[in-house]
Structure 1
Amino acid sequence: MLKFKDISKCYSLGVQQVTALQGVSGDIKQGEMVALCGPSGSGKSTLLNVLGLLDMDYQGEVRTASGENYPKDAYLAALWRRSRLGFVFQKFNLVPVMSAWENVAYPLMLNGYSRQDQKRLATEVLAKVGLEAFVDHRPDNLSGGQQQRVAIARALVHQPEMVIADEPTASLDSKTAELVIELMKTLGHEMGTTFIVATHDSRMAAHCDRVIELVDGQLAKDNTEVVKWAS
């Protein structure tokens, strides 16, 4: 589904150059739930941003299974994110003045769906995450776990190829985190959507299909992969 090869990234801090990633390569399959793990400063958030097309200033290549190169043009990257990717964040990032279904429907609105189709599809995916009784509730009337389920529904409503999740359980208690993890995995497998999750949470990693561990901007030795492009 996705191949990334020799990804390197440096940041400038004043006159100092900081290397965030050093020649990282990997291969992620369609429908797989993959955890990016490692200590703070290991490069997992940087790699997540590259794979989520939030950072295009890097060296190396990212390709889809069909051989498409990731765009490095800001406009094309925005179109790609809008139509082919979904995002789940640690702090939910819901619009407080919008109802649950309106939050979920936001990607559909950006992609030109009619208001009628927005509500129908948003309501359907809210039912999948167990929130059919809360479609008209605003975020401040929902618990943290419910807000994160709305965020997951929003990420999935336009049937993206891949969902990028940044510490999705960090703001949740243990019981709620377990429910959210299982929900993401179940829906990902059911819908054939790939989840790539950056996390410090060992519970999250334990539920994923595979763990990619980063140390000092490189893959841990037991994760090292040699990626070969299809000819």
Structure 2
Amino acid sequence: MLTFENLQRQYRLGGQRVNALCGVSGQIERGEMVALCGPSGSGKSTLLNILGLLDMAYDGSVVLDGEVMPKAGRLVQQRQAATLRRSKMGFIFQRFNLIPVMTALENVCFPLMLNGMDRHTQIRLATEMLEAVGLAEFIHHRPDHLSGGQQQRVAVARALVHSPSLVIADEPTASLDSQSAGKIIALMKALGHRQGTTFVIATHDPRMARQCDRVMTLCDGQISEEGMSWAS
């Protein structure tokens, strides 16, 4: 479902070149939840950004649902990447990244609106997804009237409402207490498996890693000796 081969990415830091990824390859099946672990600077964020088409200046290849992902280039590649992000991908962030002036319902409707869906269907699907994450009573609340755990539930609903093939999650439980984190992990796993959505999750949280189907460990821009292991 998601295949990446020989990914290499370099950055310039002052007058030096830094190798963020050094030939990383892997394959993730549809509906799998994979934890991306490793120390700071290991290449986790770089790999997430490439898989999510947020960074297209890399060598190697990424294939999602049989389609080769575009790389940096002309405007047509940039437009293709934007379309793929809207239609095939969802994103969950550590700081939730909800739009503060929008209600929970409006935040979840937002990706549906970007995809050109009619308003009636937007509201129906967003309401159903908010009910699925246990926020039926809070659909008209703005983010500043929700707890951290509730805000992250809205973010999960927003990421999944358009049934994406792939969800990219960057430290989704780092800002949450243990109880809220556990609920979010279980929710992501249940909804992802139900929809057949693949998750790639960068995390330092052992609770998150243990609940994933597999763990990919990166070190110095390469898959470490542990490589791809089954989570216990």
- The TM-score bracket by the shorter chain reads over 0.9
Aligned length: 224
C-alpha RMSD of matched pairs (Å): 1.1
Q: In 2, Cα distance between the equivalents of 1:53 and 1:27?
A: 17
Q: Give SS of 1:27's match.
A: strand
What's the offset of the Cα at 1:116? 1.2
Q: Which residues of structure 1 form unaligned runs of 5+? A: 226-231
The correspondence of residues 125-164 of structure 1 with structure 2, limited to 5 A, is: 125-164=129-168
Q: In 1, Cα distance between the equivalents of 2:118 and 2:191?
A: 25
Query: Residue 195 of structure 1 is aligned with which of 176, 196, 199?
Result: 199
Is the contact made by 2:215 and 2:228 (CA closer than 8 Å) also made in structure 1? no
Counterpart of 2:212?
Answer: 208
What's the offset of the Cα at 1:192? 0.5
- State the TM-score, normalizing by the size of structure 1: 0.95
Q: Give SS of 1:155's match.
A: helix
Counterpart of 2:179?
Answer: 175
- State the TM-score, normalizing by the size of structure 2: 0.94
Is the contact made by 1:31 and 1:194 (CA closer than 8 Å) also made in structure 2? yes
Counterpart of 1:71?
Answer: 70
Q: Give SS of 2:68's match.
A: coil
The amino acid that maps onto 2:132 is K
Q: Give SS of 2:100's match.
A: coil
Displaced runs of 4 or more, over 3 A: none
Q: Give SS of 1:219's match.
A: strand
Counterpart of 1:228?
Answer: none
The amino acid that maps onto 2:43 is G
What's the offset of the Cα at 1:64? 2.5
Q: Which residues of structure 2 form unaligned runs of 5+? A: 72-76
Counterpart of 2:74?
Answer: none
The amino acid that maps onto 1:71 is P
Q: In 2, Cα distance between the equivalents of 1:201 and 1:222?
A: 17
Counterpart of 1:20?
Answer: 20
The amino acid that maps onto 2:226 is D
Q: In 1, Cα distance between the equivalents of 2:162 and 2:7?
A: 29
